[in-house]
């Protein structure tokens, strides 16, 4: 399985993305300050977007030398998505997510500039039963691979995928797409957790992830900085 380790020229310390899923920008800044040099890449999503101060936080992170993943999962009329991506392209963000069909992904790729667009495949909070509820008459693996193939055709830069499906994507599509893997858990998943398709840090990378997104295991740790440092040590040992 080690042959699936990413060979892209990404600094090991940049492969960890910490999710700032907190209720306000002040709490996000406090966590960033607490994590210090242990984390160089952050994800900011819908909760912070609705709390206010989102773009000020984005600017603060960029000015502080951090990379930023804007996880707003753009899903709308293709022209509206294109305009939103074009507006975001000058913000200094590194990644942004889109969620939708081929036309939406193509529109997002059209005016992205240096911004890297990631297409969401299947949320890691969904399982087979959830797909049945949504009306998808196929299993998770087939749906993820289909969306990954479409993403490659549209010109987006990568996909967001569970670590469980990453090996299949790598074997089918090689290194042509970035693979960003959320749903990282250090131990067996707890029953109360809303993430259903999870892997641990090492397995995510052995399965072909380029980046991992870690939220609660760092944010809710007794010592978040130590938890982040531990993840970074695992990553460094894999990409020596």
**73 part of the active site:** yes
Of the candidates 43, 63, 73, 112, the residue annotated as catalytic is 73
Secondary structure, 3-state, the chain: CHHHCCCCCCCHHHHEEEECCCCCHHHHHHHHHHHHHHCCEEEECHHHHHHCCHHHHHHHHHHCCCEEEEEEEECCCHHHHHHHHHHHCCCCCCEEEECCCHHHHHHHHHCCCCCEEEEECCCCCCCHHHHHHHCCCCCHHHHHHHHHHHHHHHCCCEEECCCCCHHHHHHHHCCCCEEEECCECCCCCCCCCCCCCCECHHHHHHCCCCEEEECHHHHCCCCHHHHHHHHHHHHHHHCC
**Catalytic residue numbers?**
73
């Amino acid at each position: 399985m080690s042959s699936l380790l990413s060979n892209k020229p990404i600094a090991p310390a940049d492969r960890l993305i910490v999710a700032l899923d907190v209720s306000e920008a002040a709490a996000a800044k406090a966590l960033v300050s607490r994590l210090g040099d242990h984390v160089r890449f952050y994800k900011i999503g819908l909760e912070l977007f609705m709390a206010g101060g989102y773009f000020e936080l984005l600017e603060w992170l960029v000015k502080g030398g951090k990379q930023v993943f804007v996880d707003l999962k753009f899903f709308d009329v293709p022209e509206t998505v294109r305009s939103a991506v074009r507006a975001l392209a000058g913000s200094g963000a590194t990644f942004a997510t889109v969620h939708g069909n081929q036309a939406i992904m193509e529109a997002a790729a059209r005016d992205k500039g240096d911004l890297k667009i990631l297409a969401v495949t299947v949320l890691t909070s969904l399982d087979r039963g959830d797909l049945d509820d949504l009306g998808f008459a196929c299993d998770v693996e087939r749906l993820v691979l289909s969306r990954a193939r479409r993403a490659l055709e549209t010109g987006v830069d990568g996909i967001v995928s569970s670590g469980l499906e990453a090996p299949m994507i790598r074997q089918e599509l090689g290194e042509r797409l970035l693979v960003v893997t959320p749903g990282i858990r250090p131990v067996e998943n707890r029953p109360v957790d809303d993430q259903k398709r999870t892997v641990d840090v090492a397995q995510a990378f052995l399965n072909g992830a380029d980046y991992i997104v870690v939220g609660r295991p760092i944010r809710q740790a007794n010592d978040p900085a130590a938890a982040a440092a531990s993840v970074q040590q695992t990553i460094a040992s894999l990409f020596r």
